């Protein structure tokens, strides 16, 4: 059976770290590269971190029904999951792993249904989340404030996911992720 694993979380919850760990620990997994219209950040590479395309190209793909799900986060700032990316991974005999925002996670779960295991990574508290975002040293105070406010809203959607992993201890969260994913893949 073709399966997918969906990771969602508020920014600063440790989602990307847990996704990377899962990819290293479980060879059956393959990362789904999302499409976006935003510019690459830092050392991000096209077709490795994201498929970076123009808003016009993105809208063309929408009209072609090329996406499993997509969202216009801000004007002309789109993110989406290409159907062709999922098919490519399934054709390799692998399980797709998604690293998406909370709304994207809910959309993917609705689309894939029983083929999907949706996991919500939750910080131990909003205060800890804020501390993590500050210690990252990648955002200004205003951006951190916005992300913390958004996290409060995103936490209210946790119950819509199949599993919630509270990331208070990274090593424990990694172990819990491995157990959840292996159990889902094997059944």
Q: What is the pTM (predicted TM-score) of this model? A: 0.88
CB burial string 60-69: b at 16+ within 10 A, e below: ebeeeebbbb
What are the helix (H) ranges across 40-169? 55-63, 83-91, 102-112, 126-136, 141-155
Annotated binding-site residues read: 9-16
Q: 4-186 sits in which CATH class? A: alpha beta
Q: Mean pLDDT for each 10-residue chunk of the chain (187 residues)?
A: 92 87 96 93 89 97 96 89 96 96 93 97 86 81 84 90 94 96 95
User: Which parts are annotated binding residues for ATP?
Assistant: 9-16
Q: Say if residues 146 and 129 touch (Cβ distance below 8 Å).
A: no
- The token pair that represents 86 in the structure block: 């999922």
What are the structural domain ranges in the chain?
A: 4-186
The helix/strand/coil state of 93 is coil
pLDDT value, residue 83: 97
Instruction: Please report the pLDDT score of residue 51 as a whole number.
Output: 96
36, 49 Cβ separation under 8 angstroms: no
Give every CB contact of residue 44 below 8 A, 6+ residues apart in sequence. Answer: 50
């Amino acid at each position: 059976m073709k399966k997918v694993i969906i990771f969602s979380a508020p920014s600063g919850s440790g989602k990307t770290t847990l996704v990377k760990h899962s990819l290293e620990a479980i060879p059956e997994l393959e990362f789904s590269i999302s499409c976006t219209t935003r510019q690459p950040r830092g050392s991000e590479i096209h077709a490795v971190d994201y498929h970076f395309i123009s808003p016009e190209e993105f809208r063309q793909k929408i009209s072609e029904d090329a996406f499993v799900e997509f969202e216009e986060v801000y004007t002309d700032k789109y993110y989406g999951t290409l159907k062709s990316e999922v098919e490519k991974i399934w054709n390799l005999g692998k399980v797709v792993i998604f690293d998406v925002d909370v709304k994207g996670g809910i959309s993917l779960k609705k689309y894939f249904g029983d083929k999907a295991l949706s996991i919500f990574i939750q910080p131990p508290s909003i205060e800890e989340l804020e501390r993590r975002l500050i210690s990252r040293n990648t955002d200004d105070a205003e951006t951190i404030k916005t992300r913390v406010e958004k996290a409060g809203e995103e936490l209210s959607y946790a119950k819509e996911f199949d599993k919630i992993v509270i990331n208070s201890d990274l090593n424990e969260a990694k172990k819990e992720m491995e157990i959840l994913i292996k159990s889902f893949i094997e059944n």
